Structure 1
């Protein structure tokens, strides 16, 4: 799941990290539970069964109503030879969420030193372009439940309402976020049906979600944010507003059109608002609310990133940073 939607992950007596795998699940699947993997609110753990390494994931019903969709996308890519997580058993579904048991894929993620980051970004951009070709070939064109397109997301009047409420509480931060939303709405109003390639996307094509063994790709992990949209939306968490090597590598394999270069920024802005409406509504809409306003530092940090390459291709971002 992406950083931007972590706050929404939910549900059930045994959600999250900290409580571990439900003992009934361990008994049913004959598992020896291991350590938690990461700090995602969805819940991901190591486990073994009969000596075989596995991974257990929990999808809360509130945050992942269409949990079968990422499994379907991963299976369609696996059929084309991409190493994606494969379930060992049929998922265990309950009223509050779903448990899924996967084979653990071999290999390790690449954590490049600073000097090696440009090469890693470039290689990952090239790989993402190849991934998108395969994603388009899956033929999956329906939208995942709970997701919308970027234009619909930023045009949501409820999002605007709660951003204004947040601006009253946090003027500088709220003003920046609302300006971002307004700029994205304006771009899509001027370009209502962008003729740009669409397919299912991965959603978080970051180094930690790619496994390698001696330079060979052995795993593409974490399809929790996969949905159908513009392919350039996958830059949101691969390029992240500044990793220009990703864009350069991608463009070498599949040349981006002029329209796509101009589309990168508004879909990136729209991605920053995934989950934000519900987060703000839960705080500002609560009767007798107390406590600090929601932390939207993740969004603000990314709005302040600088991309010389995007600025050269699509102009600067005006009041929304120096892109």
Structure 2
């Protein structure tokens, strides 16, 4: 899908622009009456959950995307129109500088405090904590079928699942802090203008988990300064530090269970499994 549904554009009087992203959620730049907006087609489970999280943060003064219309549910997915926030990402791909990573870690710790203050405690439908995700028999069946098609990558994925599941069995983590996460606290999801934070974007993976699970993509296995900056605001316990790598590895299996092995492309997941550990 390279262009939004014409019926959507007609309903909301939109002039479609560039496709901004299509990895999981299709996102377009659009205008209405000359004003910039963002149009998205959502198909994630419990899609109202991230909207509630973003709204609760906005009530505390965090700059999150504000809907310009009520979401419109169609057989092909849910359409969301939001006002476009000002500013630009510091970088749009790859790692930021060490100082920028440290600043992002501090921001993430502050965001976690704000998320705790929202009072949202419910888990999002379709999401589980790492041990439950890894222990799903459907995940093992999917990976076994994937291994038959891609022997080397499939073998690595199955071994990583087994080893990480064994880690959780041997290391009880019940005392580790949990809360609602952003889910993709990467440089390109943070907007700045004149050094001021003007936008926190992309809550589509928001759910409840160990707080250190938010390092899954914020840290990405190699940006240790993010963890250092976070620790400056909210010190991490020894248990949380030990949790970072297994939780990160478990995150790489999100959305895999039950998928069609013939259409799965897990090269990104494999590449990140090979990342260094903190």
Q: Place the TM-score, normalised by the shorter chain, in its bin.
A: over 0.9
Post-superposition shift, 1:161? 2.2
Post-superposition shift, 1:227? 0.5
1:165 corresponding residue in structure 2: 145
**Distance in 2 between residues matched to 1:113 and 1:209, nearest whole Å:** 11
2:38 corresponding residue in structure 1: 55
SS of residue matched to 1:109: coil
- CA deviation string 1:96-147 (max 9, x = no partner): 3111110000000011899961111111111111111111111111111111
The answer as to whether partners of 1:112 and 1:120 remain within 8 angstroms in 2 is no
The answer as to whether partners of 2:93 and 2:188 remain within 8 angstroms in 1 is no
The yes-or-no answer on 1:283 pairing with 2:266 is no
The answer as to whether partners of 2:124 and 2:208 remain within 8 angstroms in 1 is yes
Q: 2:187 aligns with which of 199, 202, 207?
A: 207
Cα pair distance change 1:31/1:227, threshold 3 Å: same
Post-superposition shift, 1:260? 0.2
Cα pair distance change 1:116/1:188, threshold 3 Å: closer
The answer as to whether partners of 1:88 and 1:103 remain within 8 angstroms in 2 is yes
1:34 corresponding residue in structure 2: 17
The answer as to whether partners of 1:106 and 1:219 remain within 8 angstroms in 2 is yes
The answer as to whether partners of 1:136 and 1:198 remain within 8 angstroms in 2 is no
The yes-or-no answer on 1:44 pairing with 2:27 is yes
The yes-or-no answer on 1:86 pairing with 2:69 is no
Cα pair distance change 1:209/1:115, threshold 3 Å: closer
1:295 corresponding residue in structure 2: 265
Post-superposition shift, 1:217? 0.2
Q: 1:121 aligns with which of 101, 104, 109?
A: 101
The answer as to whether partners of 1:46 and 1:56 remain within 8 angstroms in 2 is yes
Cα pair distance change 1:164/1:115, threshold 3 Å: closer
- CA deviation string 1:162-214 (max 9, x = no partner): 22233333332222111111111112212344211111101110000000000
2:114 corresponding residue in structure 1: 134
1:238 corresponding residue in structure 2: 218
**Distance in 1 between residues matched to 2:202 and 2:47, nearest whole Å:** 12
**Distance in 2 between residues matched to 1:244 and 1:298, nearest whole Å:** 20
SS of residue matched to 1:105: coil
Q: Which runs of 5 or more structure 1 residues have no equivalent in the other structure?
A: 1-15, 285-292, 311-323
Cα pair distance change 1:271/1:47, threshold 3 Å: same
Cα pair distance change 1:169/1:198, threshold 3 Å: same
**Distance in 2 between residues matched to 1:168 and 1:40, nearest whole Å:** 25
| Deviation beyond 3 Å, 4+ runs, structure 1 | 112-116
1:229 corresponding residue in structure 2: 209
2:158 corresponding residue in structure 1: 178
2:45 corresponding residue in structure 1: 65
TM-score, normalization by structure 2: 0.95
Cα pair distance change 1:158/1:211, threshold 3 Å: same
The answer as to whether partners of 2:54 and 2:64 remain within 8 angstroms in 1 is yes
Post-superposition shift, 1:278? 2.7
- CA deviation string 1:219-253 (max 9, x = no partner): 00000100011110000001001111101111111
